Amino acid sequence: MSITEHDSAGGRLALSGRADLAVRAEALVKSFGDQRAVDGIDLAVRPGEIFGVLGPNGAGKTTTLRMLATLLKIDAGRAEIFGVDVAGNPHVIRQLVGVTGQYASVDENLTARENLWLFGRLQGVASARARRIATELLGRFGLEEAADKPIAQFSGGMRRRLDLAASLISKPPLIFLDEPTTGLDPRTRGQMWETIRDLVADGCTVLLTTQYLDEADQLADRIAVIDHGRKVAEGTPDQLKTTVGNSTLQLLLAEPGEVPAAVEVVRRVLRSDPVLSPEQGRLNVALDQADLAADVLIALRTAGVSISSVSVAKPSLDEVFLALTGHEAGDNETDAKENR
Ligand SMILES: Nc1ncnc2c1ncn2[C@@H]1O[C@H](COP(=O)(O)OP(=O)(O)OP(=O)(O)O)[C@@H](O)[C@H]1O
Ligand SMILES: [Mg+2]
């Protein structure tokens, strides 16, 4: 994919660096006061992929995207979009990136059609063409019926779709989606996933943030897991799952007080530590082979630790997160701002 193919303004773009990556970020830092919201993040997003940035509330996801989109100053480190330096070429970057906010950024009093038309006009699209694009996008996002209603009457899911539609007006080659499905019901979430896959099938590259492990698993080709402004892991969903073993023995102890004894037994049998869940008495044991579960269970019985439920499963990204960060996704709400 070359940039000139997608450059809607029609001009050739001066490339300052290598354009083999859609996003290249090196050691990005952003501080707010003495808090480092983003604390040295590297990212490499390949053209044509869906790259997921996964992390709990306050991890630094939105801050990272905002820096890459030129909406926030980069304090340290550097970033390129298709080889174009972000800090040095904000106008070029804005042509290359479509940004969808975590908060729909449209005018409440205007209708959906008027909003899209306005967005087009603001991006320099001629009036008649903006009207045509608006109609096409309203159709594509299933908003025809609501097209002439003011946004104030829109549901959360309709707003998200309109917000995404607005970011597509200029046909950017790279789209940033900040928590595209937070707060949506399961059906609307599924529709949004389909829409995102369609974008990629059309040749777009997508960088999305999510706090939903299943979303990253479903959509992303590769995932960076971030926590407290740092990247704690990166890989394909399968690679991340493999970091916690091929399968997981999930145990719920009858007596939460016996957790230390159970941890001792697991260490003795497998020479590795189980992952403790914040839920009382629950622990997950990574297994290289599923049949090691029997060894653990026999040793637990011998040690007199009683179990109220047991299962062996392929590890979920939830467990990956717990294993990598020592806490569950969504577990550091205290230092996070409100999420709509
Ligand atoms: N403008 C700001 N001023 C001060 N602190 C900020 C600002 N924006 C973000 N922060 C802080 O930086 C940290 C990272 O915030 P950020 O919004 O990037 O997290 P996030 O991963 O997007 O979280 P969420 O899932 O809740 O959207 C948080 O502790 C947040 O409170
Ligand atoms: Mg955010």
pLDDT of amino acid 106: 64
* Final residue in a domain of this structure, among 197, 216, 236: 236
* pLDDT average, residue stretch 195-200: 90
In a domain, 148, yes or no: yes
- Read off the pTM: 0.78
Give me the mean pLDDT over the 228-251 stretch: 86
Q: Do 81 and 183 belong to one domain?
A: yes
Q: Is the model more confident about 9 or about 220? A: 220
| Token digits of residue 185 | 């019901």
Residue 242: band (very low, low, confident or very high) from pLDDT cuts 50, 70, 90: confident
* Residue 170, amino acid: S
- Listed as own residue / partner, the contacts of 28-31 with beta carbons closer than 8 Å and 24 or more positions apart are 28/64, 28/67, 28/74, 28/76, 28/77, 28/78, 28/79, 29/74, 29/75, 29/76, 29/77, 30/60, 30/63, 30/64, 30/67, 30/72, 30/73, 30/74, 30/75, 31/75
In the predicted model, is pLDDT for residue 73 greater than 60? yes
Output the pLDDT for position 336: 38
How far, in Å, from the CA of 8 to the mean position of ligand 1? 32
Closest to 150 in 3D by CA, of 110, 105, 186: 110
Q: Is 326 a domain residue?
A: no
**Which pLDDT score is estimated for 11?**
37
Q: Which residue has the higher pLDDT, 192 or 67?
A: 67
Looking at the fold, whether 126 and 164 belong to one and the same domain comes out as yes
Q: Which ligand is nearest to the CA of 58?
A: 1
The verdict on 147 and 119 lying in the same domain is yes
- Whether 59 is in the pocket of ligand 1, judged by its Cβ within 6 Å, is yes
Residue 327 lies in a domain: no
- Strands of 161-306 (E only): list them: 174-178, 205-210, 222-227, 230-235, 247-253, 275-276, 282-287
The ligand placed nearest to the CA atom of residue 332 is: 1
pLDDT at 339 over 60: no
Q: Which of 41, 57, 63 to mutate to test the pocket of ligand 1 (most atoms within 8 A of CB)?
A: 63
**End residue of a domain, out of 236, 253, 284:** 236
Q: Are residues 182 and 79 in the same domain?
A: yes
Strand 76-81 and strand 23-32: the pairing is antiparallel
Summarize the confidence of residues 204-227 as an average pLDDT.
Answer: 92
Same domain, 11 and 142: yes
Q: For residue 284, give the CATH number of its domain.
A: 3.30.70.100
In the predicted structure, residue 99 carries a pLDDT above the cut 50: yes
Q: Is the dihedral of CA 150, 151, 156, 161 positive or negative?
A: positive
336 lines ligand 1 (CB under 6 A): yes
Indicate whether 248 pLDDT > 80.
yes
182 close to ligand 1 (CB < 6 Angstrom) = no
Q: State in Å: Cα 106 to ligand 1 middle.
A: 22
CA distances from 191 to 10, 45, 194 (A): 32, 24, 5
CA distance 95 to 172: 6
User: Residue 191 pLDDT more than 50?
Assistant: yes
What local confidence, expressed as pLDDT, does residue 335 receive? Answer: 40
Say what the pLDDT of residue 168 is: 84
| pLDDT for residue 221 is more than 50 | yes
State residue 183's pLDDT score: 79
Residue 271 lies in a domain: yes
Check which CATH number belongs to the domain holding 71 and give it. Answer: 3.40.50.300
> Best substitution site from 29, 332, 337, 340 to test ligand 1's pocket, by max atoms within 8 Å of Cβ?
337
Give the structural domain span for 201: 3-236
| pLDDT score for 188 | 82
Closest CA to 283 of 270, 291, 56, 59: 270
**Do residues 190 and 269 share a domain?**
no
Task: Point out the ligand nearest to the CA of residue 32.
Answer: 1
Q: Is residue 73 part of a domain?
A: yes
Q: Specify the ligand 1 atom closest to the Cα of 66.
A: 18
The per-residue pLDDT for 263 is 96
List the one residue out of 8, 52, 79 whose CA is nearest residue 234.
52
Residue 338 lies in a domain: no
- The answer on 262 and 163 residing in a single domain is no
**Rounded to an integer, what distance in angstroms lies between the CA atom of residue 79 and that of residue 27?**
9
174 and 298 together in one domain: no
Q: Which of 262, 264, 297, 295 is nearest to 280 (CA)?
A: 262
Looking only at the bridges linking them, the beta strands covering 275-276 and 97-100 are unpaired
Residues 80 and 7 in one domain: yes
In this prediction, residues 100-127 reach a mean pLDDT of 80
Given this model, what pLDDT does residue 207 score? 97
Question: 50 and 174, same structural domain?
Answer: yes
Q: Pull the structure tokens for residue 210.
A: 């999510």
Residue 165 lies in a domain: yes
Ligand 2 centroid–CA 36 distance in Å is: 15
Question: What are the helix (H) ranges across 251-316?
Answer: 259-270, 292-302
Residue 220: pLDDT band (50, 70, 90) is very high
Q: What is the mean pLDDT of residues 297-323?
A: 87
Atom 6 in ligand 1: residue holding the nearest Cα: 32
Mean pLDDT value across the chain = 85
Number of domains observed in the structure of the chain: 2
pLDDT at 254: 95
Q: Is 339 in the pocket of ligand 1 (CB under 6 A)?
A: yes
The C-alpha atoms of residue 96 and residue 173 are separated, in whole angstroms, by: 6
Q: Is residue 54 part of a domain?
A: yes
Cβ burial 168-195 (10 Å sphere, 16+ → b, else e): bbbebbbbbbbbbbbebeeebbebbeeb
Boundary residue ending a domain (236, 253, 288): 236
- Name the residue of 61, 177, 211, 215 to mutate for ligand 1: max ligand atoms within 8 A of Cβ: 61
Report the range out of 20-24, 171-175, 213-217, 321-325 with the highest average pLDDT: 20-24
Closest to 182 in 3D by CA, of 154, 214, 207, 205: 214
- Residues with Cβ–ion distance below 5 A, ligand 2: 61-62
The residue behind tokens 């209603």 is 149
Element (H, E) at 188: helix 186-201
pLDDT confidence of 76, banded at 50, 70, 90?
very high
Q: Is the CB of 19 under 6 A from ligand 1?
A: no
Q: Which atom of ligand 1 is nearest to the CA of 182?
A: 25
Contact 230, 41 (CB under 8 A): yes
Query: Cβ(332) to ligand 1 under 6 A?
Result: no
- Confidence tier at 164 by pLDDT (50, 70, 90): confident
* Residue range 289-301, pLDDT digits in tens: 888 999 999 999 9
Confidence of residue 329 (pLDDT cuts 50, 70, 90): low
- In terms of domains, do 226 and 267 share one? no
Residues 40 and 131 in one domain: yes
